[in-house]
């Protein structure tokens, strides 16, 4: 437990930063999202392949890499779908003073805007991926910052894929 902070307080603070993070991403407020991350951020998206019987890494960036990816988004043709991330905080493990490991369940929904025939498909919502966030947060200046995230996807068929990240 961190000095002077109860487990319940830690959990409540992490709930807050987790939800603010996904709302920032859903709304495309990437600067806001980056402000919730630590300078040493490492962001990975992984999946297990039962075809290969191996773990796979599908994205692996540090904070600068994520910032570059975000900056280049407008230059790529991509889906204009609205994304909705549903995250439920599961376990919270205090690893050391001011450092916690959390596992949350994740579901990301797309509401179609321009992928497919927008006249027919537009406005429909569909599940894009499910999985878990395996996160490490670090306390700095009274704020919990995301220091490491491994998105462990259960979904392995992602349609056309995405330039954005889940």
Q: Which residues bind another protein (CB under 8 A)?
A: 45, 47, 49-54, 56-62, 64-65, 67-69, 71-72, 75-79, 115-117, 156-165
Based on its alpha-carbon atoms, the radius of gyration of the chain, rounded to whole angstroms, reads: 17
Q: How far is the CB of 14 from another protein (least distance, A)?
A: 25
Shortest Cβ distance from residue 110 to another protein (Å)?
13
Note whether 44 and 149 are within 8 A (CB).
yes
Burial 80-113 (b: 16+ CB within 10 A, else e): ebebebebebeebeeeeeeebebebebbbbbebe
For another protein, the closer CB: 9 or 71: 71
Q: Which is nearer to another protein, 76 or 97 (CB)?
A: 76
Return the structure tokens found at 54.
């191996």
Residue with tokens 């709304």: 27
Q: How far is the CB of 131 from another protein (least distance, A)?
A: 13
Query: 11 vs 61, which CB is nearer to another protein?
Result: 61
């Amino acid at each position: 437990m961190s000095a002077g902070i109860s487990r319940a307080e830690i959990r409540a603070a992490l709930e807050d930063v987790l939800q603010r993070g996904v709302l920032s991403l859903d709304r495309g407020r990437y600067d806001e999202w980056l402000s919730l991350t630590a300078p040493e951020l490492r962001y990975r998206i992984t999946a297990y392949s039962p075809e290969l019987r191996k773990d796979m890494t599908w994205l692996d960036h540090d904070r600068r890499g994520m910032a570059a990816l975000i900056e280049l988004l407008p230059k790529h043709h991509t889906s204009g779908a609205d994304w909705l991330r549903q995250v439920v905080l599961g376990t919270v493990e205090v690893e050391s003073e001011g450092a916690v490991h959390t596992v949350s369940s994740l579901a990301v929904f797309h509401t179609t805007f321009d992928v497919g025939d927008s006249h027919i498909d537009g406005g429909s919502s569909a599940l894009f991926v499910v999985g878990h966030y395996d996160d490490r947060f670090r306390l700095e200046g009274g704020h919990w910052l995301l220091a490491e995230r491994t998105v462990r996807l259960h979904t392995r068929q992602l349609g056309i894929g995405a330039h954005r990240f889940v």
